[in-house]
Amino acid sequence: MRKLFGTDGIRGVAGEYPLDKKTIHAVGHALGDHLSDGLVSSGARRVIIGQDTRESSGWIADALAQGLAEAGVEIENAGVITTPGVAYLARVQKFSAGVVISASHNPWQDNGIKVFGGDGYKLPDHIELEIEKELFALLSAGQKEAGSSHSLHVNESMRPAYIQWLARSIPGGERLKLVVDCANGAAAALASEVFSRSGLSAEFINNTPNGRNINENCGALHPNVVARETQARQADLGICFDGDADRVLFADADGKVVDGDAVLLLLAREMKRQGGLATDTVVATTMSNMGLEIALRQSGVRMLRAQVGDKYVLEEMRACGAVLGGEQSGHIILSQKATTGDGLLTALMVVEVLARAGKPISSLIADLKVFPQVIKNVRVRDKQPLAQIAPVQAAIEEAERDLNGSGRVVVRYSGTEALARVMIEAESREKMEKHADSIVHAIRQSLGS
């Protein structure tokens, strides 16, 4: 079982284990060794590194690069760039791997390390486990701490190559008024040029990162901010990214948030209309609303559910031949275009659909009837298997009996934080709240921090 890698790489508080310089240095060395052990078939081992706007991202990238260099790996630094930007560059420019220094939607004090293979896909769990084993072996052998003198030179050609691929002419898009929230994150370095080169008029907010304001009361973590601005500025559409811009959420002209479920419905219908929805299947997750499943079914589209985490959505897509999948949180995967969720790409696709239809987003998803849903987070001291905790299982089973098919219960651990997440959907809001509180209480009593 992996100890460091979660559903989205290694994550923690910057400067503390496992994101102290010594461990980061070992991560780079272990990754470099693994590349030489068979992840790369032939030729020079080259790794591209990108980062978000946190003040810790620079020294973490430096420490990682030192470990990679010790293992004989050549390194290119793309500077501040989105997570999907690194995945794209790793694939098209034939790097052995791509690494992103980012903690996505987490606060500025946190950071993380995400690794992509040379094919642009996130590493499978078994590869991450092998890298972990090598990492722990290096630490046990007295792996040294990274020095302080090394500093990565930014290759200024990297970001423009990604921007050029993203930018597309959107006929009719100039008629739309957009408000774009960059979350003071990686999108701040790219979004303005991408939208301008696509012929779109946009007003940008939260696009002045200072190292500590990433995700702070802004972006996809706080979509009501762009929703209020969209309504106040009488715009047609609000768009908000998370810190590394692999997620995107929207807001309509009335200031209502449009989540990833609604985006999946919008894109699925458009792709099916154009004959591009392979197997007429969409892959969502266990957290996606029952209303999405019903609306897709009425449109002749099958919905499958994967476990939470965009890498698991993609695995299911590849297994069943689907080309569209995503999460309620705003990870949308368009596998014919990209190997991971890309917030900028998704935003352009949504704008293109609205421009072509000549209708507001609210009218295109008006029939999506969302079942009442509550998600509650409980901080835990450790992640014991929930199935082995009798009071928690009793509360879950009681909820399932009472709902009797008219709702869903999903209880799981976060893959990136010390949290248990309790999600309940039900036709009855009273039952939903009652059972959510009961399960939360059982978890808190058994595992609460």
Report, as residue numbers or ranges, the catalytic residues. 104
Identify the three-state secondary structure at position 321. Answer: coil
* Residue 366, C-beta contacts closer than 8 angstroms, at least 6 positions apart: none
Q: How far apart are CA 226 and CA 230, in angstroms?
A: 6
Coil, strand, or helix at residue 380?
A: strand
Identify the helix (H) or strand (E) that includes residue 9.
strand 9-13
Burial pattern 297-322, b for ≥16 Cβ within 10 A else e, equals eebebebbbbbbbbbbbbbbbeeeeb
Give the list of residues 6+ apart from residue 139 with CB closer than 8 angstroms, or none. Answer: 22, 23, 26
The answer to whether the CB of 333 falls within 8 A of the CB of 323 is no
Nearest CA-CA partner of 182 in 212, 215, 231: 215
The answer to whether the CB of 214 falls within 8 A of the CB of 108 is: yes
- C-alpha 433/C-alpha 410 separation (Å) is 14
First-to-final CA distance of the chain: 23
Q: Contact 233/203 with Cβ under 8 angstroms?
A: yes
Cα–Cα distance for residue pair 317/283, rounded to 1 Å: 6
Alpha-helical runs (H) found in 321-419: 343-357, 361-364, 390-403
Residue 325 to residue 351: CA distance in whole angstroms: 18
Single-letter amino acid code for the residue at 328:
Q
Report the distance separating Cα 232 and Cα 176, nearest Å: 15
How far CA 224 is from CA of 138, 229, 347, 403, in Å, comes to: 46, 9, 17, 31
The Cα–Cα gap between 396 and 230 comes to 40
Do residues 326 and 296 make contact, with C-beta atoms less than 8 angstroms apart? Answer: no
